[in-house]
A and B are shown apart, each in its own frame.
Chain A
């Protein structure tokens, strides 16, 4: 797994309090990992902070799964 994916996974595990093996590419933050809408806002902020990028609101809405997040950050970073 890439360095970016590892760092994203670490943030997801910390913020959502989930087991690491649940954080798979297709895992939806809301449907599979127990996040609510406020959790997803905070996750996006944590990604911005960790990777020094800006994720506009309309782009943030497309980040639904762990895989979406890794893909977006790989392209943006």
Chain B
């Protein structure tokens, strides 16, 4: 089977625009959570979220003008803007510039989203009601469709290979990277732009997740303490937004052009819970099977895993994942570190798995596990190191990232160092 490596990274997160800026703030223990500014949140139960820091583009702020011109921006919802920004960073970082038709046809795009253009749909529904169908923009549909991140990216860079989009709720980003790696392994492409993008911080988005009882509501007086995976006082997840994109490349292709190789995708596993629309089963057997499948593909045993980036959303399900991980690792749990970076950036839904896969790549590069913020009271009897409050310098040869989504859809990525 052809080997697949990671040769480019791009991200826009609530910590910063840019990979290195987001990563350094993550390791330093900063939080991207604050009061909602994107809309008037006075009518919804949750008044805080992890918003991207908009600004003039300096000091890690996100300036939309740097990534799409205003004329094009009017035709896309924010999730596409974030995806374009992260994809543009990743392509530049990889140095991959196809010069021939064949190279362009061997380069594909697989960027997903959990919900897509939720704001565009909500705003247009109101417009339709108030002004009638003749006022609906010709750009409404292409601004809201989930696969239009992949479409826009392919148009910008001329990538004519497979053009696809994953939609598996909060597992989207991980599935996109795993599926794109499979396309390279099977020979459908040599290079894939893969990841996820999401912009759910709108009144309808918050109201919808509030109705599911999924969001934290009790920490309006101290929003940065709200995302607290595994902590005894957690009360739901904190909504985030952003995008994470990787460039995946066939190993020999990357070597031949002298590309920088960050990491290798060693394994990818999937499973379904067949249990409930929003909750995992109490025994976490779906997540367990997803992890076991990924390790089997990688040809590794559970004891080989050094760092786990947990799904860990700061909901009741955190301890279900923890139980599955401890069962899988057995005695090896004591030597493993697991953290949830959602404690810092909130839950980016369809972008979460991709952003977290990038954090795993960087943990392999820098030999450091990011912290779990706000973990004051860990579960009793926990055997694994949850990296409470401070990053862990440690040897990391293999990193595993979990993503679990509504509908009972699970994905696990296993990655190894680029120099192995």
A binds B: yes
Interface string of A1-42 (1 = CB under 8 A from B): 000000000000001110000000000000000000010011
B139 and A15 contacting across the interface, CB-CB below 8 Å: no
Closest residue to B75 on the A side, CB-wise? Answer: A38
Contact partners of B134 in chain A: CB under 8 A:
45, 48, 54
CB-CB contacts below 8 Å: B51-83 with A:
69-71, 74-75
Interface string of B125-139 (1 = CB under 8 A from A): 000000000110111
Main secondary structure of the interface of B (DSSP, over half): loop
Closest residue to A17 on the B side, CB-wise? Answer: B71
A75 beta carbon closer than 8 Å to chain B: no
Report the minimal beta-carbon distance from A26 to chain B, rounded to whole angstroms. 22
> In the bound complex, how far is the Cα of B139 from the Cα of A48, in angstroms?
17
Interface size on A, residues (CB 8 A): 10
> In the bound complex, how far is the Cα of B143 from the Cα of A42, in angstroms?
14
Report the minimal beta-carbon distance from A19 to chain B, rounded to whole angstroms. 12
B135 and A17 contacting across the interface, CB-CB below 8 Å: no
A45 and B71 contacting across the interface, CB-CB below 8 Å: no
Contact partners of B70 in chain A: CB under 8 A:
17
- Residue of A15, A38, A49 touching B135 (CB-CB under 8 A): A49
Report the minimal beta-carbon distance from B350 to chain A, rounded to whole angstroms. 26
Report the minimal beta-carbon distance from B256 to chain A, rounded to whole angstroms. 38
Closest residue to A37 on the B side, CB-wise? Answer: B138
Closest residue to B74 on the A side, CB-wise? Answer: A15
> In the bound complex, how far is the Cα of B75 from the Cα of A42, in angstroms?
10
Interface string of B180-208 (1 = CB under 8 A from A): 00000000000000000000000000000
B137 and A45 contacting across the interface, CB-CB below 8 Å: yes
Contact partners of A48 in chain B: CB under 8 A:
134
Contact partners of B139 in chain A: CB under 8 A:
38, 42
> In the bound complex, how far is the Cα of B141 from the Cα of A41, in angstroms?
14
B69 and A17 contacting across the interface, CB-CB below 8 Å: yes
Closest residue to B135 on the A side, CB-wise? Answer: A45
Report the minimal beta-carbon distance from B320 to chain A, rounded to whole angstroms. 47
CB-CB contacts below 8 Å: B250-275 with A:
none
> In the bound complex, how far is the Cα of B144 from the Cα of A57, in angstroms?
25
Report the minimal beta-carbon distance from A67 to chain B, rounded to whole angstroms. 22
> In the bound complex, how far is the Cα of B134 from the Cα of A54, in angstroms?
10
> In the bound complex, how far is the Cα of B134 from the Cα of A38, in angstroms?
14
> In the bound complex, how far is the Cα of B74 from the Cα of A68, in angstroms?
25
B71 and A41 contacting across the interface, CB-CB below 8 Å: no
Contact partners of B75 in chain A: CB under 8 A:
38
> In the bound complex, how far is the Cα of B138 from the Cα of A31, in angstroms?
20
> In the bound complex, how far is the Cα of B70 from the Cα of A45, in angstroms?
19
Contact partners of A15 in chain B: CB under 8 A:
71, 74
A41 and B69 contacting across the interface, CB-CB below 8 Å: no
> In the bound complex, how far is the Cα of B69 from the Cα of A16, in angstroms?
11
Answer whether A41 and B135 are a contact pair too, CB < 8 Å, given A16-B71, A17-B70: no
B71 and A42 contacting across the interface, CB-CB below 8 Å: no
B71 and A38 contacting across the interface, CB-CB below 8 Å: no
Most buried by A among B75, B134, B135, B138: B138
Contact partners of A38 in chain B: CB under 8 A:
75, 138-139, 142
**A interface with B by C-beta (< 8 Å):** 15-17, 38, 41-42, 45, 48-49, 54
21 example contacts (A-B, Cβ-Cβ < 8 A) are as follows A15-B71, A15-B74, A16-B71, A17-B69, A17-B70, A17-B71, A38-B75, A38-B138, A38-B139, A38-B142, A41-B138, A42-B137, A42-B138, A42-B139, A45-B134, A45-B135, A45-B137, A45-B138, A48-B134, A49-B135, A54-B134
